[in-house]
Amino acid sequence: MSAAYTPGPWSILPNGHCVSGPDPMNPEIGISGVAMCGMARRTEAEARANARLIAAAPDLLASLQWALDAMAARNPVWTEGDRYGAARAAIEKAVQS
């Protein structure tokens, strides 16, 4: 799977609303913005929760991919279920360009 997104790890900046990741263009700084979660009409709690979810996204994607590959290797019948298909669709949604 090739990543068109910023590679992880991602982290939440001290303001609690912005997510950062590695900055390949400026290694001295080390990080650059990935997303700002403190948009208008969001409460402080919601913005912080959004930032946590977004910061976890690369790890969640990798873990889901690993789990599905393990399921398919262990018992191919498990790949026939609706939940397996939904998980594959979620991965495709995340990595489509």
Q: For residues 58 and 72, what is the distance between their CA atoms, to the nearest angstrom? A: 21
Output 62 or 4, whichever has higher pLDDT: 62
pTM above 0.85, yes or no: no
- For 47-66, give one letter per residue: b (16+ CB within 10 A) or e: bbebbeebbbbbeebeeebe
- What is the predicted pLDDT for the residue at 1? 41
* pLDDT attached to residue 97: 58
When pLDDT is averaged across residues 11-15 and rounded to a whole number, the result is: 85
Model pLDDT for residues 22-70, shown as the tens digit of each residue: 887 777 777 778 887 777 777 888 888 888 999 999 999 999 999 999 9
Greater confidence (57 vs 8) lies with: 57
